[in-house]
Amino acid sequence: MKKPWVKILLVFLLSAVFLYFFFRKVEWKRILETLTDVDPILFIMIILLVPLHLVLRAVRWTYLLRQEKKNVSLYNRFAANTVGFTVSFIFPGRLGELVKPLYLAKKENMKKGFVLGTQVVERIFDILTMCFLLGLFLLAKPIFPAYFRAQPEAYERLQFWGIIGLIFAVVLVLLILSLYFFRAKTLAVIKFILKPFPKKFSHFILELVEEFIQGLKFFHSAADLFLYMLLSLVVWVGIMFYYWIFCFAYHVYVPFFLLVPYIFLTMVGASIPTPGMVGGYHYFSKLGMTSFLGIGASQAVAMTAVMHAIQVVVTCLMGYAILWKDGISIFQVKKLSEEKSE
């Protein structure tokens, strides 16, 4: 019983540390001024654009899922993304990453391991896509020096996080490719490791791993691989567009391409498993705004707080509406991530 409480305490402590650095050295008066100095038309537009990345992700998912089942409902794909993000916003530990594929597997009567495999592929390509965009950004720096006014230290930190992200993604790619192309050997190793465990448990784990490997069949099709890479770019350019409009709403006019380092840093912050992404997302968003967008610390705090609140409220309202339609609660859907088998 102690271990879960220790884990929860550490997660909240991590959030508190990030929030301390987020709010440090800000002028509260300036924050209040920023909150009210917004273009109302564009503000409404950014609220309406919140579902954009969920729709784009749902479309992209087609090319992973059709290896197992064609014509998976677009609504169910959208609902799975929305419910997954809702769970991640409400509970610590990024549980939505598990709930999303398991929810879709249940709705579409698909193998859980297979859909989990597609989720791993999705996350890898998210990292690779942002590392690719970041690489283009850093290559463009000496070509267009007038646009790149950040301090050298900021670019050094950015390059550091970019290398870490790239190494992480490449290692994962090599790992899943090894799982797929050396399937028999992988299963043999896992079977050997599971020997001391009960037969029923071992059988379940082997079955799940086999389904998971089947979820990687996508790598066997060069055409699907190319289309998926292209759609991954569309997803992240769409996210950049959303943040670009948000900047315009708060009278911050920056070239579209300068949002690349900011989006990359918010992705790093959002990946930290704090409750609702609170703390990590906020700190890295402020860091990106102050380092690369030329925004003052107080204004960055205000904009980040509003941005996060809009995403949480709108996504959770949609998520709760979907769950209400399904006749289940957020706690029931959370249990999907805790299930061993049905």
Phi/psi of residue 111, each to 5°?
A: -70, 130
Looking at residue 87, its amino acid is V
Q: Whole-angstrom Cα distance, residue 336 to residue 110?
A: 14
User: So what's the pLDDT on residue 291?
Assistant: 85
Q: Whole-angstrom Cα distance, residue 313 to residue 53?
A: 15
User: So what's the pLDDT on residue 246?
Assistant: 94
Among 86-90, 126-130, 206-210, which is the least confidently predicted range? 206-210
In contact, 231 and 60? CB cutoff 8 Å: yes
Neighbours of 197 (CB within 10 A): 12
User: So what's the pLDDT on residue 146?
Assistant: 66
Cα dihedral 238, 98, 319, 216 in deg (nearest 10) = 50
Report pTM. Answer: 0.83
Which pLDDT band holds residue 242 (cuts at 50, 70, 90)? very high
Among 96-110, 166-180, 229-243, 258-272, which is the least confidently predicted range? 166-180
Radius of gyration of the chain (CA): 21
**Which among 184, 151, 185, 192 has a CA at the least distance from the CA of 287?**
151
In contact, 81 and 58? CB cutoff 8 Å: yes
Which pLDDT band holds residue 71 (cuts at 50, 70, 90)? confident
Q: Whole-angstrom Cα distance, residue 266 to residue 311?
A: 13
Residue 75: in which H helix or E strand, if any?
Answer: helix 74-90
Distance of CA 238 to the CA centre of its chain: 14
User: So what's the pLDDT on residue 211?
Assistant: 67
Looking at residue 125, its amino acid is F
Reported as a single tens digit per residue, the pLDDT across 114-129 is 888 888 888 888 888 8
Which one is predicted more confidently, 148 or 91?
91
In contact, 236 and 130? CB cutoff 8 Å: yes
Answer yes or no: is pLDDT of 200 > 80. no
Residues in the chain: 342
Neighbours of 3 (CB within 10 A): 7
What average pLDDT score do residues 140-153 get? 70
Q: Whole-angstrom Cα distance, residue 87 to residue 99?
A: 8
What average pLDDT score do residues 316-323 get? 94
What average pLDDT score do residues 215-234 get? 78
Six-digit token pair at 26? 């800000």
Which pLDDT band holds residue 52 (cuts at 50, 70, 90)? very high
- Share the mean pLDDT of the chain: 82
User: So what's the pLDDT on residue 1?
Assistant: 41
Answer yes or no: is pLDDT of 339 > 70. no
Q: Whole-angstrom Cα distance, residue 130 to residue 137?
A: 10
Which one is predicted more confidently, 88 or 29?
88
Q: Whole-angstrom Cα distance, residue 36 to residue 299?
A: 11
Six-digit token pair at 15? 């959030």
Answer yes or no: is pLDDT of 145 > 70. no
At CA 52, angle to CA 46 and CA 55, rounded to 5?
A: 160
For CA atoms 213, 215, 221, 224, give the dihedral sign. negative
Six-digit token pair at 142? 């000496």
Q: Whole-angstrom Cα distance, residue 138 to residue 312?
A: 31
Half-sphere exposure (Cβ direction) of 185: Cα atoms closer than 13 Å: 6
Six-digit token pair at 210? 């086999």
Q: Whole-angstrom Cα distance, residue 128 to residue 170?
A: 8
User: So what's the pLDDT on residue 47?
Assistant: 94
User: So what's the pLDDT on residue 342?
Assistant: 44
The full set of domain ranges for the chain reads 19-337
Distance of CA 290 to the CA centre of its chain: 22
Fill in the DSSP letter of residue 197: S
